[in-house]
Amino acid sequence: MDINRYTTHILIRIFSLGLVFALFPFAAKALHIIGGDMTYTCNGNGNYTITMKVYRDCNSNGADYDNPAHFTIFIGSSEFSTFQNVPATSGAPPPVSNHNAAPTQVFVVPPDDNPCVDVVDPPCVQTATYTLNVNLPPSNQTYSIVYQRCCRNTTINNIVDPGNVGSTYLVEIPPQAQQLCNNSPVFNDFPPIVICAGEFINFDHSASDIDGDSLHYSFCSPLEGGGSITNAPQVYWENGAIPIPAAAPPYNTVTFVAPTYTAFTPMAGSPTVYIDPNTGLIDGVPTTLGQFVVGVCVEEFRNGFKIGEIRRDFQFNVIQCNAVVDADIVEDEVIGDDEYVINLCGERSHLFENESVSFIDTITTFFWEFDLENGSVVTSSDVDFFVEFPDLGSYVGTLVVNPGQPCNDTATIHVNVYPDLYPDFSFDYDTCIAGPTQFTNLSTTEAGQAYGSFWNFGDGNSSIEDSPEYEYITPGIFDVTLLIRDTNNCENAITKPLTYFPAPNTLEIQPSTNEGCAPELVIFDNLSFPIDNTYTILWEFGDSVTSSEISPSHLYTTPGFYEVSLDVTSPIGCEVAIPYSSSVEILPAPTAGFSVNPELLTNFNPTATFTDESIDADAIQWDFGDGSPFIYETNPEHTFGEGTYVITQVVRHESGCLDTAQYVLTSEQLVTYHLPNAFTPNGDGKNEGFKGTGFFEGMTNFNMTIWNRWGEMIFETNDPEEAWNGKKNNRGDILQNGVYVVVVNYTEPSGNDVQLKGFATLVR
């Protein structure tokens, strides 16, 4: 173990942790730290004043500023510096004092203090300033004064896992700076709290140096520091949210969300956001809304040698801002902030329509100005402005909203007056017999050759060929449009009607069959084109029947050979060049049929006889629907179990044609139940019990009850095989002779409920 490191570790914990535990019984994770910086002043004789500024959101999420803040001083690049490394002549370790200044609350104002920009729901930032007075004996190594704290806002866009990433703020005093009693630069201005998306930043991030040293500015990566542990005592350890002492240098830098963001391009922009290395001016136009961590480093040079560096770590909020007054017009193109383009194609005049808006103050006045050729200038104070341009060419004008008032805005208007385009075309096709249509582009333009053509044929199809050939599938009157474009991106279009009613070149018919068995329904699918209901259509099916439908169906009932023809005439009297004719053969077919006896089967009569009644059949097949093999007999018999069966007869004619007949046959499961009227339980072995007789299989929910004449139930059973022996509940003495009432209930296999009532005469 490094004894010096261990001793210093203990000394600092004795000094720091006692205060921390006293002031902070628990530590919150400061999720709203948004930046900070540290500078130093040399007071002579090794005495320095260290100044640190820490920035946070006013909504601190319960995480207060550290009170006090704890600085750790390192010397050299060792893992953990010890004050014992100071030369022996320096005496005791340098004194460390902490001072906590009350945070200063800063409410945001419009960017660049511009009263003509409105920020909706502006954020709020607080600043806490801490000072540390310390004596640092001269050394040939660098002193590092370090403060670490976690964590940053979870909503930061440009670094990875920001809610678990803390900050390290430090200043280094190298040997040469110690010898010169150098003072670090100090940033001149508080960073902008908000930046307007789409607007130039133009923030002066420069610093001042009382020693007159040369300063060089650059974007650099902020430093990590502290961890996400918030539970005491680990919160004060090296990986805790408030490391005491701080971790030793060197320090890791934050991880940017690459490749979109880097330390040198911390915000998306067009033009890219950058910092001038000589002036510290940050410029560019941020384009993405959000929160972005930015690091700015300032290197200090004297006589060409670097003697120090400071850095600021800050969170920029890019939001949508509203201009109080915005000059705007109805334009063809926007080419910049308040810069618009209007293209006039074949026109020499234009009404400029004013779309200017005001978010706070009412717009009171306007001023239009256009510079025409030969130094001629036209102006207007109207809301809209009508301008006549003398000739082809490019012109520039302006619209000033609220001229001469504190909040005004100016729009620059570029007008291009281009020559006209003259679209035209012709078409040619055979009006009588269908075929392709040839379109010819006849367009002209004063600006040179038209280079872009777009055809809309009026039936949902299009082409970009200069002079296309196109074949219509359907007839009709089509509005054909040709749009042309020239080298100035001017466009013009012309539409002409095209009447297209030729007869098809040939008739293409697809019948559902050319051979069938009577009766046969044949569907004739007409695939010919162009054709619709305006055409005269005549079908002849060969059996004296005709049709005028485009795609008809026809039922042939008589066997024979039929000639089918189709004739089509267009609305203008043209007939098909090649007519359609074909043939359909209808073969003789048998007629299936049979009878069943009996028509309803039961378990007492399960066998049916099938009698063939078909006509012109030379073969018969039977399917009884119960999984049994097919039967090829003429009049078969078949035995069925309980259930419902579809009986199918298929018969065949010698022509090969088939016919089918079906019958739904039901075989029911029946039960029977009969009550006797008397019994003699006298021990002679004959008629000793009272019960019903019959066929009980399939019977459910059986119940028999027997009642005496006073309405008392003396016997009950749910078993149809159980008999009443003449005793009450079949136990004890035999009841007296007499007539007793019997009630029986049961459910048949079909689901029908049955109730029987009778009398049981008891005779000894």
Residues 63-95 pLDDT 10s: 567 777 788 899 876 643 432 222 222 233 333
Is the pTM here over 0.85, yes or no?
A: no
Q: What is the pLDDT of residue 265?
A: 93
Helix (H) or strand (E) holding 462: strand 462-463
Tens of pLDDT along 365-400?
Answer: 999 999 997 779 999 999 999 999 999 999 999 999
3-state helix, strand and coil shares in percent for the chain, rounded to the nearest 5: 5, 45, 50
Average pLDDT over residues 300-306: 94
Spell out the domains of the chain, with CATH numbers in brackets.
3-319 (no CATH), 324-418 (2.60.40.10), 421-500 (2.60.40.10), 509-584 (2.60.40.10), 594-668 (2.60.40.10), 678-762 (2.60.40)
* Alpha-carbon span 711 to 407, nearest angstrom: 109
Tens of pLDDT along 315-370?
Answer: 888 888 776 788 899 999 999 888 999 999 989 999 999 998 765 557 889 999 99
| Lowest-confidence pick of 15-29, 220-234, 580-594 | 15-29
Confidence of residue 277 (pLDDT cuts 50, 70, 90): very high
The length of the chain is 764
For the CA atoms of 255, 259, 265, 267, the dihedral, rounded to the nearest 10 degrees, stands at: -90
Q: What is the pLDDT of residue 266?
A: 93
* Alpha-carbon span 588 to 133, nearest angstrom: 120
Contact 51, 133 (CB under 8 A): no
Q: What is the DSSP letter of 222?
A: P
Q: What is the pLDDT of residue 452?
A: 80
Tens of pLDDT along 230-257?
Answer: 888 888 887 888 888 888 889 999 999 9
| Lowest-confidence pick of 170-174, 202-206, 293-297, 558-562 | 202-206
Average pLDDT over residues 5-13: 29
Q: What is the pLDDT of residue 385?
A: 95
Confidence of residue 119 (pLDDT cuts 50, 70, 90): low
Q: Is the pLDDT of residue 103 over 50?
A: no
Residue 362: which residues within 8 A CB-CB, separation 6 or more?
Answer: none
Q: Is the pLDDT of residue 570 over 80?
A: yes
* Alpha-carbon span 460 to 457, nearest angstrom: 7
- Two tokens, residue 466: 């200069």
Q: Which of 77-86, 120-129, 319-328, 463-472 has the highest mean pLDDT?
A: 463-472
